[in-house]
Amino acid sequence: MKGPEDDAGLADKVALISGGGAAGDGIGNGRAAAILLARAGVKVLVADRDLVLAERTAEMIHSEGGTAAAMASDVTSEAECKALVEAAVDRFGRLDFLDNNVGIGSRGSVVDEKPDEYRRVMQVNVETMFLLSKYAIPAMIKTANGGAIVNISSISALRPRGLTTYTTSKAAVIGLSQAMAVDHGRDNIRVNCICPGPMYTPMVYARGMTDAARTQRTNASVLKTEGTGWDVGHAVKFLLSDHARYITGQVLVVDGGVTLQAPERESQPH
């Protein structure tokens, strides 16, 4: 399965990917990262709330000769986060990488938002990353070379546009990532954050999207190019690899230049 290219220190490492499923054969951010890491020789535990979706990602990896396992998990549960990390170590003998992908959207201002929904978004978008990292980091410390974590935020954290609770949660992901980078640099654990733009992923198009809306999202990029889960997956692979050995606490914007232009208020979270 591995090609002739340099694996950048990824071969034979172990990664836990949360939110690694996707509808059908669609390519979401987590699924793309899982497949790309597996192609580089990483053993991957794919976690998703829906086991069928996680299993499909594992099947796609197996079809290319890679190594993967699937596990259903509700990562809002501390016990299930702990169990995920233990499962990765039990199955593959170690844990080197964590890719935190789980997230949900919201719309409206602080006046419009219901407090319960605000708490739910913060729990899913921020607390899940806190909980998984809480148990992944000690496992990474036990390896000879530490490890690396990537947390998925959003350009909404950098450019608010009418999605106030979502923006708040994604901004918190940036702060969490940078604080973790400071706390655990001494443990040789790097922590970085990716802010995707308007990617065309199953989570987005499953809600329904007209051709006109898709064209508008594409044209928001200065490249006039549509982003996909593969673009985020490649960024995750880079940040987890030895090519990024001197990069930590950083925010990598993967948006085709969308944030370089004047913001527009939109109804779809990115």
Distance CA 178, CA 162 (A): 25
44 with 34: CB under 8 angstroms? yes
Distance CA 229, CA 233 (A): 6
Distance CA 91, CA 253 (A): 33
Active-site pick, 118, 166, 200, 246: 166
| φ, ψ of residue 260 in degrees (nearest 5) | -80, -10
Q: Has 166 been annotated as catalytic?
A: yes
Output the six-digit token pair for 217.
Answer: 């999202």
Q: 207 to each of 32, 112, 194, 197, 198, how far by Cα in Å?
A: 20, 21, 23, 17, 14
237 with 37: CB under 8 angstroms? yes
Distance CA 156, CA 190 (A): 24
Distance CA 42, CA 245 (A): 17
Catalytically active residues are: 166
